[in-house]
Chains A and B, each alone.
Chain A
Amino acid sequence: MALRGKMIKMKMSDGAEIGVYQVEPKGARRGGLVLIQEIFGVTEHIKETCDKFADEGYEVLGPSLYDREAPGFSVSYSPEDIQKAIKIARTEHPFDLSIKDTQTCIDALKGKGAVFITGFCYGGTVTWAAAGRCEGLAAASGYYGGQIAQMNDLQPKCPTILHFGETDHGIPLSDVEKIRAAHPDVKVYVYEGCGHGFNSDRRTDYNEEAHKLGMKRTLELFRANGG
């Protein structure tokens, strides 16, 4: 299926221009959505996911967060590319910049309806951090963010749900419990038999059932909060 959106250039708060995948909503606009990438960049899979949310009535912006360090960064799952992506995430790209760029995207969607955020893996962590640190979000839905447990004292400013795979080798259930214990108001969903990356149909861990359930829960959250 052909992608419906297009890459545009947006100026960020530090003056740099980055690429953003933008899709118009199908039918009546229910709200705006900032969709945050995995460490692999704005890949085909991320663009298709943006399209899926646009099909549900959201105007979606998917910022290419590593554009300053590696313009147009979008890589495969080969070991070499995974290493490249990890290097950028770990050593080159300041996490704060991702939060600032997220705020810029939120601001671009304001004034036309509620603004939401979702993200996967690296994007799941950004989603969590944005829920606590950004202004103007109506609700947040974060998937398997690896560093969320390390940001446990963050207080989300909007209704937030989190999704984790039961057998995610990078995020032990003890970490998930820590998050649950510290945030009784945050619904933390654990998907049985799922590993890391279960929402991505490009990965060996893809789980169709879990993907559908996560999507249903995310859309219900958005509908309940003005979307």
Chain B
Amino acid sequence: MSSILYFEDFHLGRTFECGPYAVTKEEIVEFASEFDPQPHHLDEEAAKHSMLGGLAASGWHVCAMTMRMFADRMIPVMAARGGSGSREARWVKPVRPGDVLRVEATVVDTKQSRGRPDIGHVVFECRVYNQKELVALVFMTPVIATRSAA
């Protein structure tokens, strides 16, 4: 049996566990310094007075960490050709220094490509949990998967 998963192998509801990812203050500040230099992602004092109530990772950083967890789990096993986007995303809870994240990626939709018989789209719903089992982020991402050679 091949250990590579093709489009046909992704039935609805199939879930993949990804992670863990340990979030550090250094990494929060490093990402934010480059891509989201707002005080509540850089400075504890400013963050305390902000809507986030304390230093937290940029939402974009949380997406990036999620992608890393997803890629580490799926690249070795999935005949994938990249993603085309990310449908709605909800940043539910702040991600803080010391949090440990994991992702549950569940297949919520599959669609054979109309124009290309050799590929299909697999839509994953990714739920990112912290160590307290609270959801930090939810987003949907369609991934292009090749069909197995018949």
In the complex the two chains form, is B45's CB within 8 Å of A170's CB? Answer: yes
In the complex the two chains form, is A169's CB within 8 Å of B46's CB? Answer: no
- Most chain A CB within 10 A, of B40, B44, B45, B47, is at B45
List the A side residues contacting B46 at CB < 8 Å: 79, 82-83, 86
Quick check: which of A58-66, A177-185, A197-205 contacts chain B, the rest being far away? A197-205
A85, CB-defined interface residue at 8 Å: yes
Which of A38, A121, A169 sits near B54, CB closer than 8 Å? Answer: A169
Number of interface residues of A (CB under 8 A): 21
Which of B38, B40, B44, B51 sits near A170, CB closer than 8 Å? Answer: B44
> A-B pairs with CB below 8 Å: how many?
53
B147, CB-defined interface residue at 8 Å: no
List the A side residues contacting B53 at CB < 8 Å: 168-169, 195-197, 203-205
B39, CB-defined interface residue at 8 Å: yes
In the complex the two chains form, is A170's CB within 8 Å of B48's CB? Answer: yes
List the A side residues contacting B51 at CB < 8 Å: 77, 203-204
In the complex the two chains form, is A196's CB within 8 Å of B54's CB? Answer: yes
B49, CB-defined interface residue at 8 Å: yes
A3 vs B23: C-alpha distance when bound (angstroms) = 45
Within the complex, the shortest CB–CB distance from B23 to chain A, in Å, comes to 14
User: What interface size band does chain B fall in?
Assistant: 10 to 19
- Most chain A CB within 10 A, of B38, B44, B46, B49, is at B49
- Most chain A CB within 10 A, of B47, B50, B51, B53, is at B53
Which residues between 140 and 195 of chain A lie within 8 Å of chain B, taking CB atoms? Answer: 146, 168-170, 195
A39, CB-defined interface residue at 8 Å: yes
A97 vs B53: C-alpha distance when bound (angstroms) = 28
A86 vs B51: C-alpha distance when bound (angstroms) = 15
A37 vs B108: C-alpha distance when bound (angstroms) = 50
Interface 0/1 of B21-54, CB less than 8 Å to A: 0000000000000000011100011111111111
A79 vs B44: C-alpha distance when bound (angstroms) = 12
Measured CB to CB, the nearest residue on chain B to A202 is B51
List the A side residues contacting B73 at CB < 8 Å: none
In the complex the two chains form, is B50's CB within 8 Å of A82's CB? Answer: yes
Which residues between 81 and 133 of chain B lie within 8 Å of chain A, taking CB atoms? Answer: 96
A90 vs B38: C-alpha distance when bound (angstroms) = 19
A57 vs B29: C-alpha distance when bound (angstroms) = 48
A40 vs B50: C-alpha distance when bound (angstroms) = 11
A203 vs B54: C-alpha distance when bound (angstroms) = 13
Measured CB to CB, the nearest residue on chain B to A169 is B54
List the B side residues contacting A195 at CB < 8 Å: 53-54
Cβ-closest 3 pairs across A and B:
A169-B54, A170-B48, A195-B53
Can you list 27 residue pairs at the A/B interface with Cβ under 8 Å? A38-B49, A39-B49, A40-B49, A77-B49, A77-B51, A79-B38, A79-B40, A79-B46, A82-B39, A82-B49, A82-B50, A86-B46, A90-B45, A168-B48, A168-B53, A168-B54, A169-B47, A169-B54, A170-B44, A170-B45, A195-B53, A196-B48, A196-B53, A196-B54, A197-B49, A204-B51, A204-B53
